Structure 1
Amino acid sequence: MRGNSHVRFGGRSWETDPRQPGHRAQGRPYIRSRAQRLGYDLAKIVTFSARTVDPEGRLVNVVQALDVDTVIAPSLEHFDGRVPERLVRGCELNTVNPEATYAPHAPFQFVDADGDGA
């Protein structure tokens, strides 16, 4: 296996209604399946409610404390529809729907015409 995987579910109102397709209980098997397909051991499923203050910051703290390689989320909607920059600075983000990977940015290095670093 590739390492630890970390999962985050957001606290959106549609997740609290079990009749809705995005409900947490319905999403967990998809998260587990995505982690398995990517070769990760699922370390933990973390949930935050809509009342959680700074859920992205709290998630970053959990990621650092568990020293995980990847966060798997149902979608970017759990991050208000955007790639959370604070999170992807330190780990990879994978989404279930659509299946996508957002990797930490590699350090940028200028290369001059001779191929040497500038």
Structure 2
Amino acid sequence: LRLAAVPGTGVAALVHDAAPTPFEGGDDEVRRWVAEQSEAVTAVWERTGSVLPMTFNVLVAGDPGAGRGAEERLADWVAEQEPAVGARLEELAGRCELRVEITLDRAAVAGDGPHAPEEAA
């Protein structure tokens, strides 16, 4: 896991080497990967003040036919997007986005227990 600076920009990407296939595994393994990504994003944010996390499990493959590795392809994309990415990072400096997700087990609240009307509401 490392920050890969993109030459000619003030932007770096948090990257790691992985097989060019999506992560697959059991629930515990996926939870561990998500927790590790969260820890890495938090560490970068604490050290730099700005971070734009990608969706988990974003993979960039190399292009062997063109003689370009995955990190070079990513750097090209970041350099191309740098004006928009740089502006967005400046807007977000010192801020943090939190997500709360609430789910409802409809089968559980569809019953006729003593709290069913309250739970359904």
Tell whether the structures are fold-level matches, with TM greater than 0.5. no
Greater per-residue helix proportion = 2
Q: TM-score range by the shorter chain?
A: 0.3 to 0.5
Counting strand residues as a fraction of each chain, which structure ranks higher?
1
TM-score w.r.t. the length of structure 1 is: 0.35
- Highest relative contact order (Cα 8 Å, sep 6+), 1 or 2? 1
Structure of higher CA gyration radius: 2
> If the length of structure 2 is used for normalisation, what is the TM-score?
0.34
